[in-house]
């Protein structure tokens, strides 16, 4: 039985016990359960071959699942595929475009394909938002890679979807375009569009996502609010640059998680941000008593990348 969990609003996407075994016997995803909330930006992280694209492809109707069910906006993506698919827009990973079509014709095609009547005003707004309006009559083959990526986004938005999948949207694009896309994604979220993005760039997920899902080996390893995840799994480091190098961590400080770096000139104290007491004040007092002096100190929060590497490493 596939129902929304008690206490949650009707989700944008609900995945239940979803598996896909390809003809060659490769199990791309196994027993995946996942809920994407309406209006959120959900980042799906995972290494190459983790099953991200297969999962998205099944939700969007491009690949048949072996077992399990998916609801989009409450509609079964297989049985009620028309209603389900009309809610979804997909920006694929590859730059797959009709090279000899004009930008305008290709977005008109996309809108029609999804059963929507012509709406030049809507398409003009989308193209203007993506800085493509002055290229509307250009053939796609003449556009740069970044522009082609925007065309794919325009095509995905042409039928005004409620749910947008971005499969590695910023792969291979320059920093400026990446920032533009992040802004665009936030604007879409503000307009009520649910965004699901897969990415290799951890900083992208850290910058944009409301929630993070980690997939590895075809299984969902973790789904968590980004802030909670950072808090729960995040470690913080206090780094002290010593006046005189140490050969080893003094035995009197063995109760602390300490390590030495930079030929004994940097003392690193790792502590849990969740702990009631971090122990930093006591450590500084103990250092003073031992006569260990330092010239500089700074703290560093572990990044999502550190967390991701830790999680994926555990599943190996």
Partner 1 sequence: MNLHGVRAIYVFEMSRTWRTLFQSIVSPVVTTMLYFVVFGAAIGSRITEINGVSFAAFIIPGLVMLSILTESVSNASFGIHLPRFTGTIYEVLSAPISPIEIVLGYVGAAATKSVILGLIILATARLFVAYEVAHPLAMLAFLVLTAATFSLLGFIIGIWADNFEKLQFVPMLVITPLTFLGGSFYSIDMLPPFWRTVSLFNPVVYLISGFRWSFHDAADVPIGISIAFILVFFVLCIAAVWWIFKTGYRLKN
Q: Is 109 in the site for partner 1 (CB under 8 A)?
A: yes
Subset of residues 5 to 24 that bind partner 1, contact rule: CB under 8 A = 22-23
Nearer to partner 1, 75 or 236 (CB): 75
d(CA 211, CA 205): 9
Nearer Cβ to partner 1 (164/287):
164
Q: Per rule CB under 8 A, is residue 100 in the interface with partner 1? A: yes
Q: Are 89 and 51 in contact (CB under 8 A)?
A: no
Contact range with partner 1 by CB under 8 A, out of 100-108, 187-195, 274-282, 284-292? 100-108
Q: Does 49 participate in binding partner 1 (rule CB under 8 A)?
A: no
H, E, C per residue of the chain = CCCCCCCCCCCCEEEEEEEEECCCCCEEEEEEEEEECCCCEEEEECCCCCCHHHHHHHHHCCCCCCEEEEEECCEECCCCHHHHHHCEEEECCCCCCCCCCEHHHHHHHHHHHCCCCCCHHHHHHHHHHCCCHHHCCCEHHHCCHHHHHHHHHHHHHCCCCCEEEEECCCCCCCHHHHHHHHHHHHHHHHCCCEEEEEECCHHHHHHHCCEEEEEECCEEEEEEEHHHHHHHHCEEEEEEEECCCCCCCCHHHCCCCEEEECCCCEEEEEEECCCCCCCHHHHHHHHHHHCCCEEEEEEEECCHHHHHHHHHHHHC
96 binds partner 1 (CB under 8 A): yes
Q: Is residue 54 part of the contact set for partner 1 (CB under 8 A)?
A: no
Is 200 one of the binding residues for partner 1 (CB under 8 A)? no
**CA within 13 Å, CB half, 177:** 18
Interface region with partner 1, contact rule CB under 8 A, candidates 92-100, 180-188, 286-294, 307-315: 92-100
The values of phi and psi at residue 290, to 5°, are -85, -5
203 binds partner 1 (CB under 8 A): no
Among 62, 243, 290, 309, binds partner 1 (CB under 8 A): 62
Task: For the CB of residue 113, give the shortest distance to partner 1 in the complex, in Å.
Answer: 4
- Least distance from C-beta 100 to partner 1, angstroms? 6
Please, what is the minimum distance in Å from the beta carbon of residue 76 to partner 1?
Answer: 13
Mark 70-89 with x for binding to partner 1 (rule: CB under 8 A) and - for no binding: -----------xxxxxx-x-
Residue from 97, 170, 194, 199 that binds partner 1 (CB under 8 A)? Answer: 97
- Shortest Cβ distance from residue 162 to partner 1 (Å)? 13
- Binding residue (CB under 8 A) for partner 1 from 38, 116, 186, 236: 116
Question: Does the protein bind partner 1 through residue 155 (CB under 8 A)?
Answer: yes
Binding flag, residue 105, partner 1 (CB under 8 A): yes
Residues near partner 1 (CB under 8 A), total: 36
Q: Which residues bind partner 1 (CB under 8 A)?
A: 22-23, 57, 60-64, 81-86, 88, 90, 92, 94, 96-101, 105, 108-117, 155
């Amino acid at each position: 039985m596939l129902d929304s969990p008690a206490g949650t609003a009707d989700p944008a996407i609900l995945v239940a016990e979803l598996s896909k075994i390809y003809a060659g016997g490769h199990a791309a995803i196994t027993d995946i359960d996942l809920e994407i909330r309406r209006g959120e930006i959900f980042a799906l992280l995972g290494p190459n071959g983790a099953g991200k694209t297969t999962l998205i492809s099944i939700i969007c109707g491009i690949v048949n699942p072996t077992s399990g069910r998916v609801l989009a906006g409450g509609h079964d993506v297989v049985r009620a595929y028309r209603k389900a698919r009309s809610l979804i827009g997909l920006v694929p990973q590859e730059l797959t475009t009709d090279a000899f079509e004009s930008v305008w014709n290709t977005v008109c095609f996309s809108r029609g394909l999804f059963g929507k009547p012509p709406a030049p005003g809507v398409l003009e707004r989308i193209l203007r938002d993506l800085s493509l309006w002055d290229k509307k009559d250009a053939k796609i083959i003449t556009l740069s890679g970044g522009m082609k990526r925007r065309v794919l986004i325009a095509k995905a938005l042409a039928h005004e979807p409620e749910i947008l999948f971005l499969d590695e949207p910023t792969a291979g694009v320059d920093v400026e375009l990446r920032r533009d896309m992040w802004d665009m994604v936030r604007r879409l979220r503000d307009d009520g569009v649910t965004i699901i993005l897969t990415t290799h760039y951890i900083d992208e997920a850290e910058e944009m996502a409301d929630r993070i899902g980690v997939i590895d080996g075809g299984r969902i390893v973790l789904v968590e609010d980004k802030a909670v995840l950072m808090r729960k799994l995040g470690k913080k480091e206090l780094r002290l640059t010593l006046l005189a190098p140490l050969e080893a961590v003094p035995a009197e400080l063995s109760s602390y998680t300490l390590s030495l770096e930079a030929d004994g000139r940097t003392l690193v104290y790792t502590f849990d941000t969740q702990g009631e007491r971090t122990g930093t004040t006591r450590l500084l007092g103990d250092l003073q008593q031992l006569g260990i002096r330092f010239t500089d100190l700074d703290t560093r929060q572990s990044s999502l990348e550190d967390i991701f590497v830790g999680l994926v490493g555990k599943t190996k």
